[in-house]
Amino acid sequence: MKISAKVNRRIDLLVGLVAFAEFCFLLLNRPNTGMFLVGLLSVGLVPGWTLLGGFAQLEAVLKVSLTLPLSWSLVLLVSQAALTLHLWSPRSTLMVLMALCTIILQFRGLRRRSDA
């Protein structure tokens, strides 16, 4: 069973909103419960869905089951690269990652709108 294009667009929108909310929380630097919950969602969902959401031919179960491990792997790789380059700052690294994911999701949404 595949995810329909309409549902995929809605999930892209939700993931984009989570990424943007995490970016705003980190920019404002006001820790609260919302920042913690959005942070968990952003690290576990956003990077993986950003990469997997664009593949329409993947089965729904495969997309959902690979999103979390792929997200954690991407966060780990970006963090390790920042450590290796002596640019490590958890806040700024996550801000850059969420900004990139938001931009990619927005371009994907614009491309889908222009194709329709």
Global pTM reads 0.86
Residue 42, pLDDT score: 92
Distance (Å, whole) CA 8 – CA 70: 18
Chain center to CA of 103: 10
116 pLDDT higher than 70: no
What amino acid is encoded at 69 in this protein?
Answer: P
Least confident of 6-15, 52-61, 95-104, 107-116: 107-116
Query: Residue length, the chain?
Result: 116
Q: In this structure, what are the phi and psi dihedrals at residue 88, rounded to the nearest 5 degrees?
A: -75, 120
pLDDT digit string, tens, across residues 57-98: 888 888 889 999 999 999 999 999 999 999 889 899 999 999
Distance CA 29, CA 81 (A): 24
Nearest in space to 102 (alpha carbons), one of 46, 55, 56: 46
Beta strands in the chain (DSSP E): none
Closest CA to 52 of 69, 38, 39: 69
Say if residues 113 and 58 touch (Cβ distance below 8 Å).
no
